[in-house]
Every structure is written in structure tokens, then in C-alpha cells.
Chain A
């Protein structure tokens, strides 16, 4: 499926590009120039699993613009992956749950609706192994993927003209949950390939989801099983991990460029347990990346960003880290943590963010407040590169490339520039290479790419980002966390205090036979003390006040800085993160600027008369909790740029990008996909030509 060039659906993320043109007739969004990145969400739920709203409503609120017909803001995402749990569900996701408080909507079970045609979809039977009775009769997820959610996606794709993907929150054998999509066959915009299907997504769910214990699956016209030889035994502990790796190998073999495997809320269930299904240790991520070099390339943030309470967040005390830190898990929030450990091997291992939208807790779907989750696009945004024919394949390609970044609360917009290059390139290197003017080596590199430089060379790093004038916060009172340090900043006006440039040495891929391949993990705050890459550090901390500032007419602010690093003899990576929270803010950041555990931040009093009634209280004092805490404690994380000496071996991130390029050249992109992907850059044109600010940077921080 191909779409016309994507247009940015600007809502909160108003930017300096002048993209807030009037909406076009027909309500399909805004007429605007394209942005370099487009925002999406790959992890969210509806009533086919444990969500609170119908599948169609969830899509409408997430990618629609303006106000929903029943009320409530739409959040204008550019792409959306429906990522329900595997297993089975007893509710009909053509209807919202009663608790969503939507007009005319009450909970409907499959037992209520079998045989009825609703929204053009008729479900006549619950297929596969019988699974419950009465209102507890459940539909296996493979069936709801094929027969319910996919037709709804086809309908919504036409309605919104956005990229919508059928994905899965894989209940992984031996482990926690994992975002997966197999986009093969998914081309819902009718064309020469027809409406397409999500059959491969369904097959993966049937074969490998530990909550899907159906032993039958779909049948052919003769009543024979279509998907045979399912392992329905090894679903837990070490054996389950083996089945999980087999699932990744299946994807790598069959859909090496059309699928992704991204573990989510990775710290929540604690460390790996060899006799149960809990979390992960670093060796499991290594196994995944080894088994699926072009499909298992990262992990995701916790989601549930409005669940920070005085007693805990979406992570309890038994999680690794004992809670969330700046609403991220300890694997990614800690400098030197597990993510840095994996980057320290030079792996293509990136981070992403999604909403994990289920419900608004005590509120209904149309209320502005939430005590549980944000709707996709409201708070978390995963940015991937835009493209001339943006498609489901573009989403997968963008994620795989590492050229993506994750944003909470619109602290920055869709036009991040994070790039680096080696300068003072010699005309002749020792082997006689003629480097000067060699565009391959002189070009700017961005997230997920690798700079090759000579020891002693200067690496120039440049960042440009736009701070939107407003985000979707319904609260305009001053940020209680910042009030502690005398800053008056309304919650609905995002701000940036500083950017950390975090570096770590790359010492090479650890072989599975190496004793250091497996590292003991720990539940609780003990897990936060584990250092996986001792060389990782905040190498530079750039205050927003020291950046070049451009005020834009729409109220947004463009911030720019350049800085430099020196190439040594050891490969390394540079990754940025930014926040609105100053270093050393009581209960929120430590003296280095590291985020503290969120159960400290949620102890901060919320004293403004406008602090809403749904916040938790301690001894009668209202605390900065739930959604207010989310809007108060904002971070963004971007994926790294890798740097290595010219005479050093290629990093795994380079080798795996080359593998993807070879696979693409062999035609592994399926029908209807963007066919000119070059293996690493998602856009087929040069980043320098694409970047509208390329020639406008005048600020040099050196």
C-alpha cells in the first residue's frame, strides 16, 4: 500500500516550520509541509483485550483531528499500530466497555453478539479450542486479529488516510510482554493487492503467544488445520525462553524486514525467573538480537504514564529498579544501565515509547483527566522518519534504522536534528584512501548510523529541536515539581531545561560462551545499582539557556547547539536525552541530573488551588501524582550515533544494517511496500538535502 506523502497532523507539536496551515476540506488533516519525522504509537488496547474502548474508537481518538463526535480531543497521530495482548478475550471490541462512559455504549460479550452483523462485520462462531462459556466465552486473539480488528483497520484507514497497522502485545513465553508487528499482507487501502490481511500477524500470535493455548487455529475448507506443528508446551521459564527465541527466529526467517520484536515495560515483572514467566536479564536481550538481527532491535518504555502514585507507579517494588524513573524504566533511564550495556557491544538496540493505553482509570474516555493511561498521541510520541510514500513498511524501517526518538508531553516536536560528523578529514589516510570530498565519510550521520573517523579527529555534534508552545495538558497551573526550585512554568507549556549527551565505550559483542554474557539481575532498588557499562557517562550537559534561541511566531521555540568530541582509539556512541527538570531538583533529579525514582517525585505537594480532586493525598495533603505528575516530569530520549576509528572492525549495528540492506536488495520487502529503502536511512534522499536547517546553523558551542 502506498499513501501520498505524509502531512504532519500538528496539534500540540506546533513547530517552527510554519505547518499550522488550515485544515483541508474533507477533514483529512492539515495541509502542510512534510516534517522530517512522524509521530505514532505501537502499544495500546481495546475491548478485544483489556482496553476500555472499541477498536474503532481507539483509532479515531488517536489519529483523528479536532474533537471526536462524542466529545474529547483527538490526538492526530500520523501512524498507529494496534497492539492488543495475545491470548483470548471475552468482549466484543466493536463496543466500548460501560466504564468508558460513552453515549449508547455498554459492554458487549461475544456471547451477546454472535451471528449479528455489526459495523459490517459478522462473527458467526468462536473458532478453535472452546474457551469459556456464557459471557466468559473467549475469542482467541488470532481470530479477532483476522476477523474483527483487521476489517476495522481497513475501514479506519480509508476514513483517516493514515497508516494503521495490526500489531500484537506478545505474551512472550518465559517472559513479559513484547510489541510485535508483522506487516506482510497489511495493505488495507484497496488497490491492486485488494484489502490485504493480517494473517501473518495472526499466525505468529497463534504459534508463539503463551496465553494462546488454542490447539486448533483456523481450518481450511476441508476442515484441516492450516497452521500445524504448534509448540503448546514450552511456555514458561527457560523452556519458554527457548520458544521465545524460536519465535524470533521464525520472524527473522520469514519476515526479516516486515516485522519487529520490541519488549515492553521490560522491568515490570522483575528479573528472569527460570521456572516462571517474568522479566529479562541482559543475556535474554542478547539472545533476541542474535536470533533476530533485523527484527529484535530494541525495547520500549513502561507506558501507563498517568499511573504514578504516592505508593508506586506502573512498576511496583518488585520490578527491576523498584519503580520508574522520570517515567522510564531503569534499563534506559540509568546512565550505565542495561541499555548502555547493549550499546556498549555496538548492537543495533534502540529504545521506543508508547502509551500502553487501556483506560483513563476512574474517568471515562472523554474526560480530560486520567488516573491510568494517556490516549495514544496525547502524551507519548514515537517519532520515525517521514517518507515520500509513508507506509506500514516505513514504520518498521524507521524503527529498525534507529533513526527515531521518544517524547513525553511534547517536550520537543517532530523536527529534531541530532547529527554528527568527523571534521578535519585528511586528504590521505595512511592506507592512501582519498577521504577529502568523499561524501560517504564526510556526510552527517544521524541516529542509528556510524561515523568512521581517525583517532584525533574532531567529531562535531549538532542538535536542533523545537519546544512547542503548548502540549495536551488540561492543566495550566504551575508545575509543582519546578515550583520547588522557584520556576513558574504552566503544565500545558512544555519547557526544556537541558540536554544530556551521554557517551559510552563500545568494546565489542560478547559471545554467548563468554561468562560475562549473562549478568545477574535483581528485583527492587537493588536492580537499579547494577552497572552494565561502566564507561557510560553524561559527557556533556548543555543548558537550554546556553543554546541558540529562535522564537517562532506560533509561540514555539527553536533551540540549537553544536559541540565537539575527540575521536580516540575506542569506538563509542553518543545519545541525547532532555528534560524540563533542572539538575538537583528535590525528589526528582540527583546532583548529576539523573532521574530519581518516581515514588519520590509523587511526594511533592500539589498546593495550587487548581490541583485536581483525583490526585492522591497523604495526611490530607494533595500530592503531585497521576496525570499531573506525568505533565510535570517531562523527558525525551533519542537513539545513539555510533563512532569508531577508521581501522577498527565494523560494529554489529553496521553489519546488521548491511544485512537489512542485502535482504532488501533480494526483495524481502513485501508487496505494496516502499521499495526503495536503502537499508539504513529510511528516506531515500540525503539527510543533508532533506534537513531544512542544514545551512542555517550559526552557533558553535566549542
Chain B
């Protein structure tokens, strides 16, 4: 299995409360030849041993989307995570599969860490197409 794909699934698994843990300890080879990097910002990042593929991209997006959709509609982190996922799909459609997985990673970070919070009475104004 491709390490990029592994990375995405691990991120998703971590968010879902699964106990899957990658091997750690600096740059060393994984079972399929990809070096592992230590934890960064509370998540696991892996380098790619080979170039990621469209299948990796689509699977990572599909795995994360249900977790994004568990957040309440209108929740700021959901809005950000959906934006990242949209860009991930765009990158995949353009053949930029590493960038796709980067965007999935951003989305996972947003879901996990809820990095955007509105103040009481505040809203995020985004101009709609019909405005």
C-alpha cells in the first residue's frame, strides 16, 4: 500500500478513534520502503516512497468526508475542512496527487483541532454566487 495512502488513512483512523499507530522514530523505512517522519503538530506525516496515485487521492478524500460531515452545518471548521476537501478533489483531477493528499491532511487537521472559532454574534461572511 502506498505510504501516502497509509498516511491519509492513519489520519482518518486517528480522528475516528482507532488505535492504529504507525512506526515512529525519525527517518526510517516503512514496510514498503517509504521513510517515516516523526509526529508533527499532533499528526503523523509520511513521505512518499513512490508517487501517489489518483486512487490514493480519492480514497483519502472519501475516508475523511464522513468525518467532516459529522460537524454541524455552518460550523467554521466544517466550512474550512470542506474547502480543503474541494481543493483536494481539484488537485486530483489535475493529476496533482501529492497536493491532493496535502489538502486532505489540512482538512484532517481542521477537523481534529478545530482551528477556527467565531466570537459570540460573529459570522464568517462569504459572498455567495447569487449575491
On chain B, the residues within 8 Å of A358 by CB distance are 87
Contact with B along A335-372 (1 / 0, CB 8 A): 00000000000000000000000110111101100011
- Chain B positions 78-131 with a Cβ under 8 Å from a chain A Cβ: 79-80, 83, 86-87, 90-91, 93-96, 99, 102, 109, 115-119, 122-130
Least CB distance from B3 to A in Å reads 11
Instruction: Tell me, yes or no, whether A105 is within 8 Å of chain B by CB.
Output: yes
User: A237–B131 Cα gap in the complex (Å)?
Assistant: 49
Least CB distance from B84 to A in Å reads 8
Instruction: Tell me, yes or no, whether A311 is within 8 Å of chain B by CB.
Output: yes
Instruction: Tell me, yes or no, whether A91 is within 8 Å of chain B by CB.
Output: yes
The chain B residue with its CB closest to the CB of A273 is B47
Inter-chain contact B124/A614, CB cutoff 8 Å: yes
On chain A, the residues within 8 Å of B115 by CB distance are 309-311, 616-618
Instruction: Tell me, yes or no, whether A50 is within 8 Å of chain B by CB.
Output: yes
Inter-chain contact A362/B79, CB cutoff 8 Å: yes
Inter-chain contact A311/B94, CB cutoff 8 Å: no
On chain B, the residues within 8 Å of A104 by CB distance are 129
Contact with B along A31-53 (1 / 0, CB 8 A): 00000000000000000011010
Majority DSSP secondary structure for residues of B touching A: loop
- Chain A positions 611-668 with a Cβ under 8 Å from a chain B Cβ: 613-618, 620, 622
User: A367–B131 Cα gap in the complex (Å)?
Assistant: 11
Majority DSSP secondary structure for residues of A touching B: loop
User: A423–B45 Cα gap in the complex (Å)?
Assistant: 57
Inter-chain contact B41/A312, CB cutoff 8 Å: yes
Interface residues of A, count at CB 8 A: 49
Instruction: Tell me, yes or no, whether A99 is within 8 Å of chain B by CB.
Output: yes
Instruction: Tell me, yes or no, whether A471 is within 8 Å of chain B by CB.
Output: no
Given A105-B129, A364-B127, A613-B118, A91 and B93 contact (CB-CB distance below 8 Å): yes
Interface residues of A (CB under 8 A from B): 49-50, 52, 71, 85, 87-91, 97-99, 101-105, 136, 138, 211, 236, 276-277, 309-312, 316-318, 358-359, 361-364, 366-367, 371-372, 613-618, 620, 622
16 further A-B pairs in the complex, CB-CB below 8 A; given A50-B90, A90-B94, A236-B51: A50-B87, A85-B94, A85-B95, A88-B95, A89-B94, A101-B126, A102-B129, A105-B129, A136-B93, A276-B49, A276-B51, A316-B102, A317-B37, A362-B124, A613-B118, A616-B115
Interchain residue pairs A-B with the least CB separation, the first 5:
A50-B94, A90-B93, A87-B95, A362-B83, A613-B124
The 24 sampled A-B contact pairs (Cβ below 8 Å) are A85-B94, A85-B95, A89-B95, A90-B94, A99-B83, A101-B127, A101-B128, A103-B130, A105-B129, A211-B95, A211-B96, A276-B51, A277-B51, A310-B115, A318-B45, A362-B83, A362-B124, A362-B126, A363-B126, A363-B127, A364-B128, A613-B76, A617-B115, A618-B115
